[in-house]
A and B are shown apart, each in its own frame.
Chain A
Amino acid sequence: MTEKRQIPIQVPVLARVEGEGTLELHVRDGAIEDLRLRIFEPPRMFEKLLEGRDYTEVADMVARICGICPVAYQMSAVQAIESLFGAEPGPWVRDMRRVFYCGEWIQSHSLHIHMLAAPDFLGYTSITEMAREHADEVRRGLRLQALGNEIIRLLGARSVHPVGARIGGFHHAPARAQVDALREKLQAALPEAEALVRWTAALNLPTEEQEFTAVSLRHPREYPMNEGRMVSNRGLDISADRFESRFVEHQEAHSTALHCLHDGKPYLVGPLARLNLNLDRLPAPVRNLADSVGIKFPSRNMYHSIVARAIEIVVAIREAIRLLEAYAEPSAPHVSVTPRAGTGYGCTEAPRGLLWHRYDIDAAGAVIKARIVPPTSQNQARIEEDLRTSLRSLGVRQGEAALRRRGEMVIRNYDPCISCATHFLDLRVHELTHA
């Protein structure tokens, strides 16, 4: 992206997104006695920073929370604030927001599949090592990632921390010629994305199955992205304003990160949860593709997340093509809104899962209080649960190197928003024996 603005806000703790994830294992007599994953999350700081800010600043500020999924933060925020104000941006804005989100899914999923997850399953320590023997696949991944970025730039002016979104719509509508050129690239990329699905399904993935609660949005007609009710495979079916009645974040003494539990229990959000709960919302050609790769969805194998991500790339490319085919330049790319005091709720599907926002706003449009629950917070208890199961299954008497490798693989599989940090997992094994 080309940065043109100076950002005077100083939040040094943000640098910790490049920090370390620490997995602490307490083993007694060959059994896991305690397991703690420490993750330091930056979004908490933003909730406080948003207080006192005008509603018009929120979309740009929350885009700064994450360099990989800024669109998700913007979309949950605008949904929350517009629902409070009673704004109705209309079909053009709705369609373009979905296209915007498709771009983010494509770039984020491509990044995760190729740079983070695939090297684990192919026995490499990095994408660079993998590229020596799988250059074509890595090139394909980089092309798909670049295409996702291009969609984000189309509507957001730049791909990292985009600035195109606003309450009421977008600041700018792209020209028809730009849209047509991009649509042609998407069309050309579709076979590559379909090949990616087959490639991920053919990887030698671990076969362990686990019981877990999956939570995602569900829309009456579409594969969920920007809208829908929150549902689970255990019967949950609520609107975003009811989130706090069924989901509670709490502080764990061992970490600055909050753990979010659903009815007191860990749960999964993200591509596998979405796919498991929305198979009947896949466009027919994508459903056929998913059915053809030899994996039975819904799946209880967490490692099928990489295949779910690839399937969602195909969904996103098809959706973007469909929506851009009908593109017409609007008379105005946004509607005006009038602030109203109260509380607004928003929930959308970030690449790595549900992203829930709540804003208390005063009559002048200033934020009184903000609450943001990111997917990484929601998945953290599930990751720890998975780690316990997986490391127990592997055998804790394995050497530290094997435990670290498996621990990293488990954590990376969830695509935590601090993915780069989990590359440098610091494993501390405390071996205890009875006296």
Chain B
Amino acid sequence: MLDRVHIVGVGSPFGDDRLGWVAAETLQRSSAVNALEPGRIVISILDRPGAMLLAHCRDADHVIVMDAVRSGAVPGTRHRLSVSDLADSRLPATSHGFGVAAALELARVLGNLPDRLLLYGIEMDASCSGCALSDAVAGVMPVFVREIEKEALAFANSVQSSRSKVS
């Protein structure tokens, strides 16, 4: 049986905070993703799901979360964090109150965190407001999306392993 992948774009409508949504919308239009059997790669756009983040991906074997990141790096810097990085207390803070990092840490404490979870982020420009992305983020968005698409397709074509699913 082939694996199921769930990609989640987290954000809000404001400035670079919407970058997770933009990436998810772009992936929803991807011909490579749409060529797969329906349901193999599920893409969701969420508005600050808080602790319920992983409840949205309960049936997935692989989860990729996309969100704006604030770590002090130069705006436009791309981040790719694995499960082991999430246990690191130096994890960059994401932009939401009970944010993605907190939701994943709670899932880890509860034993609900899948081994195969990746957090993709782009360093946001906090001064960016309005409904458009900053130049720094917009500039790296194509390569950001391509990288995630490649990873998701590789996941989707892998044979289901014995590891536990998100519960």
Contacts and interface: CB of A to CB of B under 8 A. Distances in A.
B102 interface: yes
B82 interface: no
Interface in B92-112: 96-98, 102, 105-106, 109-111
B46 interface: yes
A33 B143 CA distance: 58
Interface string A1-32: 11110011010101100100000000000000
A380 interface: no
A115 interface: yes
Interface stretch (B47-55, B59-67, B115-123): B47-55
B130 interface: yes
Given A3-B45, A146-B55, 18 more contacts: A2-B44, A2-B45, A3-B21, A3-B46, A3-B47, A10-B130, A10-B131, A15-B12, A18-B96, A67-B47, A111-B50, A111-B51, A128-B102, A128-B109, A131-B109, A135-B110, A138-B106, A146-B52
21 contacts: A1-B46, A1-B47, A1-B49, A2-B46, A3-B46, A3-B47, A4-B45, A7-B13, A15-B14, A18-B96, A67-B48, A111-B50, A127-B51, A127-B106, A128-B106, A131-B110, A138-B110, A145-B51, A149-B52, A160-B49, A421-B97
A423 interface: yes
B129 interface: yes
A424 to B, nearest CB: 9
Interface string A323-337: 000000000000000
A428 B4 CA distance: 51
Interface in B33-48: 44-48
Contacts of B21: 3
Nearest to B9: A3
8 A-B pairs closest in CB distance: A420-B97, A3-B45, A131-B109, A128-B106, A18-B97, A146-B55, A2-B44, A128-B105
Contacts of B48: 67
Interface in A142-175: 142, 145-146, 149, 160-161
A115 B44 contact: no
Interface string B1-30: 000000000001110000001000000000
B52 A142 contact: yes
Interface of A: 1-4, 7-8, 10, 12, 14-15, 18, 67, 111, 115, 126-128, 131-132, 135, 138-139, 142, 145-146, 149, 160-161, 420-421, 423
Interface of B: 12-14, 21, 44-52, 55, 96-98, 102, 105-106, 109-111, 129-131
A145 B97 contact: no
Contacts of B45: 2-4
B98 A420 contact: yes
Contact of B51 (A2, A15, A142): A142
Most chain B Cβ neighbours within 10 Å, of A1, A7, A128, A421 = A128
Nearest to B43: A2
B102 to A, nearest CB: 7
Contacts of B44: 2
Contacts of B14: 10, 12, 14-15
A420 B51 CA distance: 13
A142 B47 contact: no
Nearest to A420: B97
Contacts of A132: 109
Contacts of A135: 109-111
A143 to B, nearest CB: 9
